[in-house]
């Protein structure tokens, strides 16, 4: 399973669902993917001045990692760089996951139509089934 996460409440709920599903089979493994968007990298460095940026990213995922450990499910955290939607799709399609689990961004219908959410882009282009968790 692939779980896309960014530390938001929606991604935490997506992770919880991923671990819940993974516990149904002993051979399950959850790859937690965090995509570093170059558009926000400068802001991230300024926000976390004096800290290693990878440590700061792990801090954002700390709650999700804690829940993963508590679930007893085998998991791995993967950091990638790029625009989130296409990067998640590219990685997922290359690795042939059984399912991709991603949190909803919480846009209303008009915002999603105008902006397009990451979850919508992933659902539209991924070859694996996609579960969007609200």
Task: Answer whether 46's CB lies under 8 Å from 16's CB.
Answer: no
Rounded Cα distance between 5 and 75, Å, is 13
The mean-pLDDT minimum among 20-29, 32-41, 122-131 falls in: 32-41
- Predicted pLDDT of residue 43: 55
Q: Which of 112, 113, 91 is nearest to 100 (CA)?
A: 91
What's this model's pTM, rounded to 2 decimal places? 0.84
Position 110 pLDDT exceeds 70? no
Q: What is the pLDDT of residues 69-106, one digit of tens each?
A: 999 999 999 999 999 999 999 999 999 999 999 998 75
The predicted structure's pLDDT at residue 85: 93
Q: What is the pLDDT of residue 105?
A: 73
Note the maximum CA span of the chain. Answer: 42
The sheet carrying 100-103 orders its strands as: 74-81, 29-36, 2-4, 100-103, 130-133
- What is the reported pLDDT for 59? 83
- Please check whether residue 53 is in contact with residue 44, taking contact to mean a CB–CB distance below 8 angstroms: yes
């Amino acid at each position: 399973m692939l779980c896309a996460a960014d530390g938001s409440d929606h991604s935490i709920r997506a992770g919880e669902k991923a671990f819940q599903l993974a516990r149904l089979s002993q051979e399950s493994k959850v790859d937690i993917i965090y995509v570093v968007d170059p558009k926000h990298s400068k802001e991230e460095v300024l926000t976390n001045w004096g800290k290693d940026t990878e440590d700061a990213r792990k801090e954002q995922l700390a709650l999700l990692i804690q829940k993963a450990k508590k679930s007893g499910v085998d998991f791995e955290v993967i950091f990638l760089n790029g625009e989130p939607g296409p990067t998640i799709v590219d990685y997922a399609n290359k690795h042939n996951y059984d399912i991709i689990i991603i949190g909803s961004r919480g846009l209303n219908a008009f915002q999603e139509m105008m902006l397009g959410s990451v979850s919508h882009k992933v659902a539209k282009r991924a070859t694996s089934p996609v579960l969007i968790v609200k």
